[in-house]
Structure 1
Amino acid sequence: MSSLRSVYLGLPRPVWTLFAGTMVNRLGYVVTPFLVFYLGSRGVSTRDIPWVLGALGVGNLLGPALGGLLADGIGRRTTMLVGLLGTAAAQGALYLAPGPVTMSGAALLLSTSGATVSPAAYALMADSVEADRRQAAYGLFGWGINLGTAVAGVLGGFLAAHGYWLLFAVDAGTALGYAAVVLALLPRDRQSAARPGGATSDADGVGYGVVLRDRLLLSLLGLFGVSLFVYSLTESVLPLAIRDAGLSPAVYGAMAAVNAVVVVVLQPMATARLARFPQLPVQVGASVLIVSGVALTGAARSPLAFALTVLLWSVGEAAASGIAAATVANLAPAHARGRYQGAFGWVWGVARCTSLTLGVVVYTDLGPGVLWTATLGAGLAAAFGTLVLRTRMYALTEVADAPPEAARMVATVPLPEAEDEGDKAVTC
């Protein structure tokens, strides 16, 4: 308990506000998981359903990029309000849409608006928290997402049984509730939203050029993308593996419950316990657990075997929580934090989209053995590839006349003599 208090107590008010608002909002995350059932109840044909679901996927790519631009351009708080109000409006539009074409447009608006919020929230946390405490802040934020989503799964089933309109009403209501929390409790955007803290960089402009010029970040995002693709297979291919083992859909529901319980219970304690260690080795170790658990899915045949694989990658998920987002935040110049987080969110969207397409195609056309073997090799390579980047980060500390970009990266890496301070640098 003392470690929990030392890690989480003292986090500033905006972090706790974002935690509470996000958890409330995720309690209403009930439309998307049941969307296929709703579309069927509206008479949408099997041929047209993929267009609506595809629109959701496209929005998950557009939203983070747009959110990052807006967060640095018009401000964090304003961007969150735009996204949350847009989400509420899109819920109503999707429920009232008369056909597949209008449903697809509403679905695109829904996922784009929803995905716009996170880059602004992550950037605001980076503005509010010192570098050595960002991993705890992002871990707390992620825990709120997981907790709310776990409850939403149960709530959604209950609401759907009493009328699909309740799903849309609750989802829109929680988005509006989060917007009210943001409006009432978060600080107003600074006068120069694009450059909080007075930082200026005319050469960076307002687009993603500042991100594309950061080669270290791009390398990290590439490695993160592989790891996130591996993790996303738990959402896209795990159901197929369970089906092909001759097990019922209820088994997949049970696996989702195992993951939710493990992460919700372990994540706060894991973050508190592991905060004293260098974060790069923690990230690598957690990634190995995730990759191993996902790859071992190929050997599972019984509910117990599947549960053991889920337990393994869920422990890794809990241990790694917040580290990647904190790494991105620590690499970002103050005026571009929104775009850096937008790029990270975009990588998340690409990973999910790729797992639903390439992952499923490899599994069905080339065979499960090919997918799980490739997953193990690529995942381990990505995990240990981050150790090479750590060497590059340390090398920057050797340069006496390092440029400003190097100086901000040095802040994320402990000097060797700082090990007795806990070596709490946030790295990938």
Structure 2
Amino acid sequence: MRGWLGQAAGGLPRQFWFLWAGTLINRLGSFVVIFLAIYLTSERHFSQSQAGLVIGVYGVGGAIGTTIGGVLADRWGRRPTMLTAQFGAAALMLALGFAYGYWQILAVTFLLGVATEAVRPAFSAMMVDVVPDRDRVRAFSLNYWAINLGFALSAVGAGLAAKADYLLLFVVDAGSTLVTALIGLMFLAETRPATGHHQRKQPGGGLVLALRDRTYVLYLVISLGSVVVMMQHLSTLPIAMAADGLSAATYGWVIAVNGVLIVLGQLFVPRLIEGHDRSRVLALAALIIGVGFGLVAFADAAWFFALTVVIWTLGEMLQSPSNAATVAALSPATLRGRYQGLSSLSWSAGTALAPIAGGFTQEHLGDTALWIGCFAICALVAAGHLITGPRRERRIEQLLATPAAPATADTSVPA
């Protein structure tokens, strides 16, 4: 066990562990998003459409926030961007708890989405800055594990807090965000590489350069297919299960299999895929995800639906750290914030597109067409990764051969 722990978590920089601890603490207190729809309809007595609009506004704010956060992370710095967004998110979370008018809630929720999502590109860029390329799959696996562990525990805690007082949800969520910000304030050093004068003069401040990176944009477009398929578990999957006469409670424990598997098995993934070609791992992950969702077409009982969740979760466990490591490797040092922001934006786009495309297919073509279509999309994604993989690897080799400018602080000392 000691040897396995050393392989899974040993030798990573000290600053990574502060980032990891902040992720876990923040996720442990992430109460509000889980129960926001229930809070708006039961406690504030808004209609379902009004609650849906509030959640949609949060998503719009998040898309704007991740774009702004990526640019600020490169121009202003990782640390100040993270701290400003985190302190702002904590204050806005409390404000949302005390907001009563519908338009007040809409406005605060939009700003909360901006602040919450603006943290992500700066956080990811800082993690890439401090973790060398050889250790990034391990680092992102550990971070993904912390996200899922925190989310699973917060779901239980949120239910208990909601029974006591809904305001407690907002207070605890704001408190966990504040603690995360204080960890950053006290223990995190700035890691943004120095930017040369010629780089500062590039048109669009570097954002246009990121969008012109055809290799990177093509990778995001290919990966978008996997996102659209995976997000079906939140929209069309519960509808399909209900059509088979299964209750909402049954859907709850079936989908909980996803979180349990990730918590139990994610830390074994880096050793499993170590030394394998990134593109082949991503292609295999896409195929496994496609098989899992494709089998839903034949599922008619709770155990069968749970089996499909097991299958596509295994694909997700391979896909997530490999995707994060690939995005990191394709990001030039001085543009990491923007590249991470574009990656987050593509996930937001996939999350928004998934229920629209899935719902339309389910309504007009039926469940069988939807789930077989999911398999076909993932097969195309796998083929796309295999075809474009060599081009990506050549680009990554070029970036690794280019010496990066020194960061403003030395963060290379391992824990």
Q: Same fold (TM over 0.5)?
A: yes
Q: CA RMSD in A?
A: 1.9
Contact 2:280 2:385 (8 Å CA) reproduced: no
Residue 18 of structure 1 is matched in structure 2 by: 19
Q: Tell me by how many angstroms 1:200 deviates.
A: 5.5
Q: Tell me by how many angstroms 1:3 deviates.
A: 4.5
**Would you say how many aligned residue pairs link Structure 1 and Structure 2?**
399
Residues 181-220 of structure 1 mapped to structure 2, 5 A cutoff = 181-187=183-189, 189=190, 193=192, 195-196=193-194, 201=199, 202-203=201-202, 205-220=204-219
Change (3 A) 1:272 1:197: farther
Q: Following the alignment from structure 1 to structure 2, what is the Cα–Cα distance between the partners of residues 96 and 356? A: 31
Contact 1:196 1:334 (8 Å CA) reproduced: no
Contact 1:267 1:321 (8 Å CA) reproduced: no
Residue 263 of structure 1 is matched in structure 2 by: 262
Please, which of 158, 168, 188 is the counterpart of residue 160 of structure 2?
158
Question: Which is further off, 155-164 or 314-323?
Answer: 314-323
Residue 407 of structure 2 is matched in structure 1 by: none
- 1:70-96 per-position Cα deviation (integer Å, ceiling 9, x unaligned): 111111111111221121122122222
Residue 121 of structure 1 is matched in structure 2 by: 123
Residue 349 of structure 2 is matched in structure 1 by: 350
Residue 102 of structure 1 is matched in structure 2 by: 104
Change (3 A) 1:298 1:90: farther
Change (3 A) 1:381 1:246: same
Contact 1:83 1:116 (8 Å CA) reproduced: yes
Residue 408 of structure 2 is matched in structure 1 by: none
* Structure 1 residue 375 corresponds to structure 2 residue 377: no
Q: Following the alignment from structure 1 to structure 2, what is the Cα–Cα distance between the partners of residues 207 and 365? A: 43
Q: Tell me by how many angstroms 1:386 deviates.
A: 0.7
Q: Tell me by how many angstroms 1:370 deviates.
A: 2.2
Q: Tell me by how many angstroms 1:342 deviates.
A: 0.3
Change (3 A) 1:173 1:385: same
Contact 2:255 2:306 (8 Å CA) reproduced: no
* Structure 1 residue 325 corresponds to structure 2 residue 335: no
**Aligned-residue identity in percent:** 36
Q: TM-score, normalised by structure 2?
A: 0.91
Residue 85 of structure 1 is matched in structure 2 by: 87
Q: Following the alignment from structure 2 to structure 1, what is the Cα–Cα distance between the partners of residues 4 and 383? A: 29
- Unpaired segments ≥5 residues, structure 2: 403-415
Contact 1:298 1:368 (8 Å CA) reproduced: yes
Contact 2:8 2:268 (8 Å CA) reproduced: no
Q: Tell me by how many angstroms 1:262 deviates.
A: 0.3
Letter of the 2:158 counterpart: G
1:254 match: secondary structure: helix
- Unpaired segments ≥5 residues, structure 1: 398-404, 412-428
- 1:12-45 per-position Cα deviation (integer Å, ceiling 9, x unaligned): 0121111111111001111112111111211212
Q: Following the alignment from structure 1 to structure 2, what is the Cα–Cα distance between the partners of residues 223 and 33? A: 29
Q: Following the alignment from structure 1 to structure 2, what is the Cα–Cα distance between the partners of residues 257 and 156? A: 15
Q: Tell me by how many angstroms 1:197 deviates.
A: 7.1
Q: Tell me by how many angstroms 1:333 deviates.
A: 1.1
* Structure 1 residue 308 corresponds to structure 2 residue 299: no
Runs (4+) of structure 1 exceeding 4 A deviation are: 197-200
Q: TM-score, normalised by structure 1?
A: 0.89
Letter of the 2:398 counterpart: A
Letter of the 1:120 counterpart: A
Contact 1:94 1:107 (8 Å CA) reproduced: yes
Change (3 A) 1:328 1:93: same
Q: Tell me by how many angstroms 1:356 deviates.
A: 2.4
Q: Tell me by how many angstroms 1:335 deviates.
A: 0.6
Letter of the 1:42 counterpart: R
2:242 match: secondary structure: helix
Higher relative contact order (CA 8 A, sep 6+): 2
